Amino acid sequence: MNKKLIIKGSSKRNGNTQKIVEALNLKGNFDIIDLLDFEIGPFDYEFKNRNDDFIPLMQRIIEQYDTIIFATPVYWYSMSGTMKIFFDRISDLLHYKKDIGRTLRGKAMGMISNSGENDRKPGFEMPFVESANYLGMQYLGDIHTWFDGDKIHIDAKNKIDIFRESLTH
């Protein structure tokens, strides 16, 4: 199995992040999960959200995919709140669902971000890189993309093409 997945975490279902996801998935090599399709509550130490969609979603992801690419817009110099809640909930896999969390070891992770300009600040990728390291996942790298009006900037399209090719090898 070397199935690939894009997890999209944006507050807007059909916005710029969707355009980026479609460009990355040009050849249909990825399945796509939109976090807006799931009820995922914030992390809390009493695990009050244990019956929401997070654990079943993670079980599905772990069972079916070896490569996970996170797609997020840049909101206030960071990943979207939707994506941040998802990442925070990985803590569930380190506390009361350790058996699931351990199965992330050896899987691969990457990230693609986007904003209106080529203006992503240094360090944006750090939560993704360090999460991969902590979880024993291989980090495949990341790219930032941006727009020229409502179209993906040509330089960003080129970056997407290179990134896509690097993920197919």
- Reported as type and span, the H/E element at residue 168 is none
Nearest partner of 68 among 32, 20, 120, judged by Cα: 32
Model confidence at 86, pLDDT cuts 50, 70, 90, reads very high
Task: Render pLDDT for 123-150 as a digit per residue (tens, 0 to 9).
Answer: 999 999 999 999 999 999 999 999 999 9
Task: Please report, for the chain, the start and end positions of each structural domain, with discontinuous segments joined by +.
Answer: 4-167
Query: Could you give the CA distance from residue 48 to residue 6 in angstroms, rounded to a whole number?
Result: 27
Model confidence at 169, pLDDT cuts 50, 70, 90, reads low
pLDDT value of position 101: 87
Query: Could you give the CA distance from residue 108 to residue 89 in angstroms, rounded to a whole number?
Result: 19
Q: How far apart are the first and last CA of the chain?
A: 14
Residue 1 pLDDT more than 80? Answer: no
Task: Render pLDDT for 9-49 as a digit per residue (tens, 0 to 9).
Answer: 999 999 999 999 999 999 899 999 999 999 999 999 999 99
Fold of 4-167: Rossmann fold (3.40.50)
Model confidence at 98, pLDDT cuts 50, 70, 90, reads confident
126: left (phi over 0), alpha (psi -120 to 50) or beta: alpha
Q: Judge contact between 153 and 116, C-beta under 8 A.
A: no
pLDDT value of position 2: 82
Nearest partner of 125 among 146, 102, 142, judged by Cα: 142
